[in-house]
Structure 1
Amino acid sequence: MSQTVTGQDASSRSGVRVRVQKLGTALSNMVMPNIGAFIAWGLITALFIEAGWLTGIFSALRDPGGWVAQIGGWGDFEGAGIVGPMITYLLPILIGYTGGRMVYGTRGAVVGAIATVGVVTGADVPMFLGAMIMGPLGGFLIKKLDALWEGKIRPGFEMLVDNFASGILGLILAVIGFFGIGPIVSSITRGAGNVVDFLVNNDLLPLTSILIEPAKVLFLNNAINHGVLTPLGTTQALETGKSILFLLEANPGPGLGLLLAFMVFGKGAARASAPGAAIIQFFGGIHEIYFPYVLMKPKLIAATILGGMTGVFINVLFGSGLRAPAAPGSIIAVYAQTPGDSFIGVTLSVFGAAAVSFAVAGLLLKTDKGGDEDDLAAATASMESMKGKKSSVASALVGTKAGPIHSIVFACDAGMGSSAMGASVLRRKIQKAGYGDVKVTNSAISNLTDTYDLVVSHRDLTERAKQRTASAIHVSVDDFMSSPRYDEIVEQLEQTNGGGTGGDATEPEEQQDTAGSDGDVLALDSIVLSGSATDAAAAIDEAGRLLVQAGAVEPAYVEAMHEREKSISTYMGNGLAIPHGTNEAKDTIRRTGLSFVRYPEPIDWNGKPAEFVVGIAGAGKDHMALLTKIAQVFLKADDVARLREATTSEEVKAILIAGDTSSVT
């Protein structure tokens, strides 16, 4: 019983972590594309404010009201310069625009920007947090508003309705932001600022490292850094010219000290890889490269915490900080944003943090009796699983996975559609590279066993797959048809299995079939050349209705197709969506069947354009061969073009089954 409870607790904690990571990713995706604007503002501040570098020179020349003063907005030109408007208007509006675009493209971006202006003008502090709220909210609401009358507007009036809808909604949100959200967020921002002031005034700010350093290793740092520290730090920098908050997470010292300790006291692969990792971390600013070292030996988190606390304490002691965020957290970026009166404090904070981290980690490593090499490989795989994608710097740590890869499984919820097509695409890539002896199959997650070397799944399903196949390498994908992760898997095989000499392998037994059964699976009556649906939900109904009419499924199966879509999108890429039911709905399938619907105009499938919808009902494995052929068709632009131009159901069927139209008259 204790093991079960522990597993449930671990799953719960993992779920919370994933949700926080998603929040952090959303916040980061709004801020990171605009970091260049933050840096520009920081450099303008460094040069042109009253205490800036160029300003001091021009003041010495007795020209306090010259063009430098005009740019900075001080002296006789107070408020008329660049510094104030940039932080008050430009940066929040960019964040709001980006947040709206993340939700609903350009229309969402425009409404998000309008809504952000409302909170900006209705607040007395820089409205970064308000922009992070109003931008995505504006995108979400205009998306829902468009959906209300999609397909119901008379031809010729679409642009008029669209423009007035976004304008009126923007007006409403701007007013709400001005009178409601702006003042509320201002109060929250001032309250958070007061908390920071309290920590600083009572010498408690170093304690934040107890939260920040473990959060970095668990990839939760974006939620803290871009959601809290960057907005508060920018507000503080506007008032004082610099902020210590920009250094709480970005200080490269703790990671440098840890890696130096491995260089001296580490063993095996960890010691050998530490020098290169230290260079990447310190000068490149890629902090994630030291995370596996901590995951390998979790007690080393104490070294980074104490190192981080030391750096913060020194910055508090010297009153040092940065003018703007240092992104990435490279020593080069840190110095670029360091004001003249903070160079000593910032330098001592970085190298002081590194010294303490080195001393603590060195002591822990010197007294440690375990090995490092195998642990580092496992820790790196764990880090990539937590991150949800392959680390671009992981090869600097372990280079290769211990042992060759012989079996790969593509896992999805039901195991009848997405995984089959994804496995087909990946299998062809692997065979083409000469690794025909590597077996690639597909499976429902509920049927997985911990016997595979590598598991591929949608990023939203990776956590579930890991629970059933903990010992495997896990790769997360978003695009099933043309994911760049497939090429990374081939590269992984080159590292683990050596040169490809396995030749071509035959299709797995469960996917072998004959052309005759293909024809039975996809009937001509189940092919529609011009679908009537205008959104994904209606398209699922249309594809499901064809399956019901063909006698392949019961009507209840269509509802299961909608349930499947709510959990994980069935958009495959290259204009193809393949809606199908959940694993629990297989008892509503009477026989295997497919339906095909082509749409004259792409429909919005969770933000992706879908021209072709293939409904799937798989009672057994007899539809797998046809799905494999369909996958290969949609990998070729010429075949997709022929499908787009086909004029008969027979022609479509010939393309999907045979891959050509030569026999079609």
Structure 2
Amino acid sequence: MAQEKKKSSIKVGIQKFGTFLSGMIMPNIGAIIAWGLTAAIFMTPNGWFPNAQINNLIKPMLNYLLPLLIGYTGGKMVDDDRGAVIGAVATLGVIVGTDAPMFLGAMIMGPFSAWLLKKLDNAFQDKIKSGFEMIYNNFSLGILGMILAIFAYFIVNPIMVTGSRWASIGVDAIIRVHLLPLANIIIEPAKVLFLNNAIGNGILVPLGIQQAAKVGKSVLFLMESNPGPGLGILLAFMLFGKGSSKSSAPGAAIIEFFGGVHEIYFPYVLMKPSLILAAMAGGVTGTFLFSVLGGGLKAAASPGSILAILLVAAKGSYFGNLVGVFGAAIVSFVVATIILKRDKGTGDELAEKQKQMKSMKSESKGQEMPSAQNAQSSVKSYADIKKVIFACDAGMGSSAMGASLLRDKFKKAGIKLPVTNTAVRNLKDEDGLLVITQEELTDRARQKAPNAMQVSVGNFLSSPKYDQIVANFKALTQVEDKPEKAAKPAEKPGLIIGIDFSKVKEVNFIRHDEHLGSATMATSLFSDAMKKAGKKTPVKAVKINELDDDPSHLVIVTPAAKKNLKLRYADIQIITVDDLLQDKKLKQIVDKLN
């Protein structure tokens, strides 16, 4: 047990450090792309449309703008606005005096300067007399900033210049002997452990920018952002997967390849850990093909979409880039296919085992997620929730899509709560907060927001816990202190009472995975009866979470299913029948509908 905790703390520590590095790059990816596109299009003489005047923007953007933005962001992460300003000032000291882009120097001086200023403030700010706060704030930052800029110029700059030169020589040597692809043996497993942004933006992007500034392009930009390995794995699931993993793979493949959200295929690999071999084989193949066929990008491809890769590809590198991406996809597909064909289990069995494992893990940490059935006894924990935040490593991509899914479910259920997304590092501990994270990031989210309600999911795009959350909020609205509505007359056997048929615009049967056939047959029979009667109200079989909470929906259910439906919805109209296929009420409903 102690050893497991130690391993967990080490992993969290590595993730935090990697996220800190990537956190200085991620907010500035747009600026990096702006520089990359300017260089790709207008650089003389190798741009698509060389322009000597616009070319004057390229070097200042690379040598001054980007490092200063990184230093500013790094300082802000440590000490908000004051840290951001002193981070930029100190970064300038490491920039001047060299033509090499000082990204690593900026990543050191930005947060280091802000940390020193924060220590200085902690020591002296409480001792400042009233009325002298502004003098202290301005001069403490100014004097320390001057000292740090001089320190960076004379001490840090020479160290960084030497280090950058040796790093560049090392990378060039590795590329010349074609050993760079071996790095993907480490990169691919690290990605699946949600270190993708740390590796890509914290390590490869800064090195790639220096290489691109020197030779016009860099393969390093492609090593983590290559969507090929993930695409191959998802294609294998599409053809040879089982259960829900097979049915969800096509949509995941589109999002991964064109949207660039690589996190979407991580759960597939985690379900069958041997698939990491497919990702590694695809990554090694892709990087090898990029290297030997002259592939490379002018700037970072973020997100790692095929569209982003094509937009920032260096002139003359399109063939190498495309062959590398699709070559990686083919190899990972072949390896994943072999693994999936040898698998004796079913996708449904595996999903059930995962669900049990997640439940046990949550219980061991005291995080058990209330279900729809026990929602009535757990609503007190939801009474104070004022905001829901999805938190992922980068604060974009998968968390944004997860937030969108839950936002849509809230809208349909009539729940009026804001749902947003952010990076784990930007979480703040505030009252009334529900934080939803991937399981690998929950420990870090808890450290940032210890008083928030925490919910862990395996996949932001397909988690049953979203329906459980909706059920709990719906239960809350039903037990809150509020004026009671006039009680509806109780239904008598064979009679329909309390239904306003003039408001009905759609008739629904609830489709359950375990009772799919009965709902489908009931829908078909009822639709036929409506057609024979000349009625035009549409009839549909839907999942329980797909309804809008308003009286335009007339839902026909059995008594056993009514309780679960009432728990989720307050305003839909419900008719209970003993038999979905041949109850006497069904003919009465047809007669009353339009």
Q: Does the CA contact (< 8 Å) of 2:371 and 2:468 recur in 1? A: no
Q: Does the CA contact (< 8 Å) of 1:269 and 1:373 recur in 2? A: yes
The offset of 1:479, in angstroms, is 4.8
Q: Does the CA contact (< 8 Å) of 2:282 and 2:330 recur in 1? A: yes
Q: 1:362 to 1:210 in 2, by over 3 A?
A: same
Q: Secondary structure of the equivalent of 1:249?
A: helix
Hey, what's the Cα distance between the residues in 1 that align with 2:272 and 2:454?
Answer: 31
Q: Does 1:15 align with 2:9?
A: yes
Match of 1:210 among 185, 189, 195: 185
Q: 1:341 to 1:428 in 2, by over 3 A?
A: closer
Q: 1:475 to 1:101 in 2, by over 3 A?
A: closer
Hey, what's the Cα distance between the residues in 2 that align with 1:88 and 1:381?
Answer: 53
Which letter does structure 1 place at the counterpart of 2:21? L
Q: Which moved more, 1:166-175 or 1:365-374?
A: 365-374
Q: Does the CA contact (< 8 Å) of 1:263 and 1:272 recur in 2? A: yes
Match of 1:43 among 20, 33, 37: 37
Which letter does structure 1 place at the counterpart of 2:11? R
Alignment of 1:579-590 (within 5 A): none
Q: Secondary structure of the equivalent of 1:44?
A: helix
Q: 1:258 to 1:370 in 2, by over 3 A?
A: same
Q: Secondary structure of the equivalent of 1:340?
A: coil
Q: Secondary structure of the equivalent of 1:151?
A: helix
Q: Does 1:193 align with 2:176?
A: no
Q: Deviations over 1:589-641 (max 9, x none)?
A: xxxxxxxxxxxxxxxxxxxxxxxxxxxxxxxxxxxxxxxxxxxxxxxxxxxxx
The offset of 1:94, in angstroms, is 0.1
Hey, what's the Cα distance between the residues in 1 that align with 2:274 and 2:169?
Answer: 33
Q: 1:475 to 1:405 in 2, by over 3 A?
A: farther
Alignment of 1:427-442 (within 5 A): none
Look up the match of 2:556: none
The offset of 1:224, in angstroms, is 1.9
The offset of 1:52, in angstroms, is 3.8
Q: Does 1:153 align with 2:153?
A: no
Which letter does structure 2 place at the counterpart of 1:96? G
The offset of 1:227, in angstroms, is 2.2
Q: Does the CA contact (< 8 Å) of 2:193 and 2:440 recur in 1? A: no
Unpaired segments ≥5 residues, structure 2: 362-368, 389-409, 414-432, 482-594
Q: Does the CA contact (< 8 Å) of 1:257 and 1:356 recur in 2? A: yes
Q: Does 1:172 align with 2:147?
A: yes
TM-score by length of 2: 0.64
Q: Deviations over 1:254-289 (max 9, x none)?
A: 000000000000000000000000011011100000
Q: Does the CA contact (< 8 Å) of 2:35 and 2:62 recur in 1? A: yes
Q: Deviations over 1:293-314 (max 9, x none)?
A: 0000000000011011111111
Q: Does 1:281 align with 2:240?
A: no
Match of 1:406 among 374, 378, 382: 374
The offset of 1:165, in angstroms, is 0.8
Q: 1:408 to 1:128 in 2, by over 3 A?
A: farther
Q: Secondary structure of the equivalent of 2:317?
A: helix
Look up the match of 1:272: 247
Q: Does the CA contact (< 8 Å) of 1:405 and 1:497 recur in 2? A: no
Match of 1:425 among 374, 384, 394: 384
Q: Deviations over 1:628-664 (max 9, x none)?
A: xxxxxxxxxxxxxxxxxxxxxxxxxxxxxxxxxxxxx
Hey, what's the Cα distance between the residues in 2 that align with 1:53 and 1:465?
Answer: 45
Match of 1:297 among 272, 275, 280: 272
Look up the match of 2:344: 369
Which letter does structure 2 place at the counterpart of 1:116? T
Which letter does structure 1 place at the counterpart of 2:16? K
Look up the match of 2:67: 92
CA RMSD in angstroms, aligned pairs only: 3.9
Hey, what's the Cα distance between the residues in 2 that align with 1:405 and 1:428?
Answer: 24
Which letter does structure 2 place at the counterpart of 1:166? L
Q: Secondary structure of the equivalent of 1:149?
A: helix
The offset of 1:107, in angstroms, is 0.8
Which letter does structure 1 place at the counterpart of 2:60? P
Q: Does the CA contact (< 8 Å) of 2:435 and 2:453 recur in 1? A: no
Q: Does the CA contact (< 8 Å) of 2:98 and 2:161 recur in 1? A: yes
Hey, what's the Cα distance between the residues in 2 that align with 1:308 and 1:241?
Answer: 23
Q: Deviations over 1:527-575 (max 9, x none)?
A: xxxxxxxxxxxxxxxxxxxxxxxxxxxxxxxxxxxxxxxxxxxxxxxxx
Which letter does structure 2 place at the counterpart of 1:139? A
Q: Does the CA contact (< 8 Å) of 2:69 and 2:88 recur in 1? A: yes
Q: Deviations over 1:388-432 (max 9, x none)?
A: xxxxxxxxxxxxx9975637999xxxxxxxxx9977625999xx9
Q: Deviations over 1:455-479 (max 9, x none)?
A: x99999x99998xxxxxxx985855
Look up the match of 1:257: 232
Q: Does the CA contact (< 8 Å) of 1:96 and 1:116 recur in 2? A: yes
Hey, what's the Cα distance between the residues in 1 that align with 2:441 and 2:36?
Answer: 43
Which letter does structure 1 place at the counterpart of 2:254? I
Hey, what's the Cα distance between the residues in 1 that align with 2:476 and 2:376?
Answer: 18
Look up the match of 2:86: 111
Hey, what's the Cα distance between the residues in 2 that align with 1:102 and 1:123?
Answer: 27
Q: Deviations over 1:31-77 (max 9, x none)?
A: 11111100000010011112444445xxxxxxxxxxx21221xxxxx
- Structure of greater relative contact order (alpha carbons < 8 Å, 6+ residues apart): 2
Look up the match of 1:525: none
Across the two proteins, how many residue pairs are aligned to each other?
426
Which letter does structure 2 place at the counterpart of 1:321? G
Q: Does 1:69 align with 2:52?
A: yes
Which letter does structure 2 place at the counterpart of 1:70? Q
Q: Which moved more, 1:190-199 or 1:488-497?
A: 488-497
Hey, what's the Cα distance between the residues in 2 that align with 1:220 and 1:381?
Answer: 26
Q: Does 1:352 align with 2:327?
A: yes
Q: Secondary structure of the equivalent of 2:126?
A: coil
Q: 1:89 to 1:164 in 2, by over 3 A?
A: same
Match of 2:212 among 234, 237, 241: 237
Which letter does structure 2 place at the counterpart of 1:277? A
Unpaired segments ≥5 residues, structure 1: 1-6, 57-67, 73-80, 387-400, 411-419, 436-455, 467-473, 507-665
Look up the match of 1:642: none
Q: Deviations over 1:8-46 (max 9, x none)?
A: 433322221111110111112111111110000001001
Match of 1:492 among 451, 467, 474: 467
Q: Which moved more, 1:180-189 or 1:370-379?
A: 370-379
TM-score by length of 1: 0.58
Look up the match of 1:540: none
Hey, what's the Cα distance between the residues in 2 that align with 1:254 and 1:476?
Answer: 32
Hey, what's the Cα distance between the residues in 2 that align with 1:384 and 1:190?
Answer: 51
The offset of 1:496, in angstroms, is 7.1
The offset of 1:223, in angstroms, is 2.7
Aligned-residue sequence identity (percent) comes to: 47
Q: Does the CA contact (< 8 Å) of 2:372 and 2:471 recur in 1? A: yes
Which letter does structure 2 place at the counterpart of 1:108? G
Q: 1:120 to 1:220 in 2, by over 3 A?
A: same
Q: 1:282 to 1:377 in 2, by over 3 A?
A: farther
Which letter does structure 2 place at the counterpart of 1:85? P
Look up the match of 1:323: 298
Q: Deviations over 1:469-527 (max 9, x none)?
A: xxxxx9858557787979x9984315678974994299xxxxxxxxxxxxxxxxxxxxx
Q: Does the CA contact (< 8 Å) of 1:459 and 1:477 recur in 2? A: no
Q: Does 1:34 align with 2:6?
A: no
Q: Deviations over 1:73-96 (max 9, x none)?
A: xxxxxxxx1111111110010000
Q: Secondary structure of the equivalent of 2:194?
A: coil
Which letter does structure 1 place at the counterpart of 2:32? F
Hey, what's the Cα distance between the residues in 2 that align with 1:352 and 1:95?
Answer: 34
Which letter does structure 1 place at the counterpart of 2:323? L
